[in-house]
């Protein structure tokens, strides 16, 4: 049976979701980045169910979502740089990896046994309401089968994981549309682990130049699998025209069969990216070709997702 879908702006739906989470349930929640598959971060049985529902490799640590700085301080050490970044960008699409406190309400399975935890305060009213009602951290990876295209609407969640969940909160389409930027604040250094919905230059205005973790840097950023976000069709990047059997995803003046942003607006393109990949994939092309996206601002996150969607498949 597929999970019920309730409106995320309903207080009754939030109360129901919080009650399900307290019982170890799985609830899909809207965030500004993508839809998250939420579970109680401190409940190992719930987190094990979450990994099983996604078919996710166990070594991928999860992001613990918090309502804000006060809740974050119950989970991790909190250096001045964390305070500066969280004060500037939370709630919002920025995840910070920090040393885990011994008594943090995050089970070892949730952070894959590392001595650090990734935390983020999401900037969506429903996610905030749910975190406040629940009163503790919620792990919430993207609410889709592992390796596939991330969900940016409740219908995407229902299509991919409906049977595995207890409840889906429908908060409308995600406004940012790509996952959070992940920064590690460990050993006194700030390192970019994953480009995302907060532009790197806005972070560097506070941190100074970031160290960059390579994709091969598996222990530092275990979620950075080469193949991820993959649609059913193969992908070809930096294309200007579609060849036989291909559909072209356009950007700016390269119109394509579907255009991420006719005006060349990277924020609009990020918000539409995953829904556009799903829509094109549904037409069953042999290959999805994608127009070049400038590698600046949010283009860094868009190109990261496209490169991994196009990478040779290594499904878990």
Distance (Å, rounded) from C-alpha 12 to C-alpha 4? Answer: 14
Distance (Å, rounded) from C-alpha 25 to C-alpha 240? Answer: 46
Q: Give which of 153, 187, 158 is closest to 173, Cα–Cα.
A: 153
Residue nearest to ligand AMP (CB): 223
User: CA torsion sign, 290 to 292 to 297 to 301?
Assistant: positive
Which residues sit at the interface with Mg ion, rule CB under 5 A?
142
Q: Give which of 41, 156, 45, 27 is closest to 110, Cα–Cα.
A: 41
Kindly state whether residue 142 participates in binding ligand AMP, applying the rule CB under 6 A: yes
Which residues face 138 on adjacent strands?
A: 40, 65
Query: Nearer Cβ to ligand AMP, position 6 or 178?
Result: 178
Q: Give which of 101, 62, 69 is closest to 86, Cα–Cα.
A: 69
Contact pattern from residue 194 through residue 223 relative to ligand AMP, giving x for each residue in contact according to CB under 6 A and a dash for the rest: x--------------------------xxx
Kindly state whether residue 273 participates in binding ligand AMP, applying the rule CB under 6 A: no
Count of residues of this chain found to bind ligand AMP when the rule CB under 6 A is applied: 20
Task: Among 31, 43, 67, 116, indicate the residue that binds ligand AMP (CB under 6 A).
Answer: 116
Distance (Å, rounded) from C-alpha 270 to C-alpha 267? Answer: 5
Query: Nearer Cβ to ligand AMP, position 35 or 251?
Result: 35
Kindly state whether residue 61 participates in binding ligand AMP, applying the rule CB under 6 A: yes
Least distance from Mg ion to the Cβ atom of residue 120, Å: 14
Least distance from ligand AMP to the Cβ atom of residue 275, Å: 17
Query: Nearer Cβ to Mg ion, position 6 or 143?
Result: 143
Distance (Å, rounded) from C-alpha 56 to C-alpha 45? Answer: 15
* From Mg ion, ligand AMP, none, interface partner of 193 (C-beta below 5 to 8 A by class): ligand AMP
Least distance from Mg ion to the Cβ atom of residue 56, Å: 8
Q: What string of DSSP letters covers 226-268?
A: SS-S--SSEEE-S-SS--TTEEEEEBTTB--SEES-TT--HHH
Binding site for ligand AMP (CB under 6 A): 61-63, 97, 111, 114, 116-118, 141-142, 179, 182, 184, 193-194, 221-224
């Amino acid at each position: 049976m597929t999970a019920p879908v309730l409106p995320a702006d309903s207080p009754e739906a939030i109360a129901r979701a919080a009650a399900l989470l307290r019982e170890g349930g799985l609830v899909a929640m809207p965030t500004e980045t993508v839809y998250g598959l939420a579970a109680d971060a401190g409940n190992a049985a719930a987190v094990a169910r979450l990994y099983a529902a996604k078919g996710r490799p166990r070594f991928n640590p999860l992001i613990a979502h918090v309502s804000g700085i006060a809740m974050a301080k119950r989970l991790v050490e909190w250096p001045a740089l964390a305070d500066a970044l969280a004060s500037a960008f939370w709630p919002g699409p920025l995840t910070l990896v920090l040393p885990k406190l011994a008594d943090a309400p995050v089970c070892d399975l949730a952070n894959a046994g590392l001595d650090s935890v990734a935390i983020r305060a999401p900037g969506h009213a429903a996610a905030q309401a749910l975190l406040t009602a629940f009163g503790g951290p919620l792990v919430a990876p993207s609410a889709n089968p592992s390796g596939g295209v991330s969900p940016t609407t409740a219908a995407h969640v229902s299509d991919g994981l409906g049977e595995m969940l207890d409840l889906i909160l429908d908060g409308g389409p995600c406004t940012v549309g790509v996952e959070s930027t992940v920064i590690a604040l460990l050993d006194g250094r700030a390192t970019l682990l994953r480009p995302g919905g907060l532009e790197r230059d806005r972070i560097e205005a506070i941190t100074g130049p970031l160290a960059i973790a390579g994709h091969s840097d598996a222990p530092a950023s275990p979620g950075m699998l080469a193949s991820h976000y993959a649609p059913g069709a193969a992908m070809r990047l930096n294309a200007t025209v579609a060849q036989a059997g291909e559909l072209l995803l356009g950007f700016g003046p390269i119109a394509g069969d579907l255009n991420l942003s006719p005006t060349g607006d990277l924020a609009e393109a990020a918000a539409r990216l995953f829904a556009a990949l799903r829509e094109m994939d549904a037409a069953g092309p042999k290959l999805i070709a994608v127009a070049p996206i400038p590698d600046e601002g949010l283009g860094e996150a868009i190109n990261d997702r496209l490169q991994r969607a196009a990478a040779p498949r290594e499904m878990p």
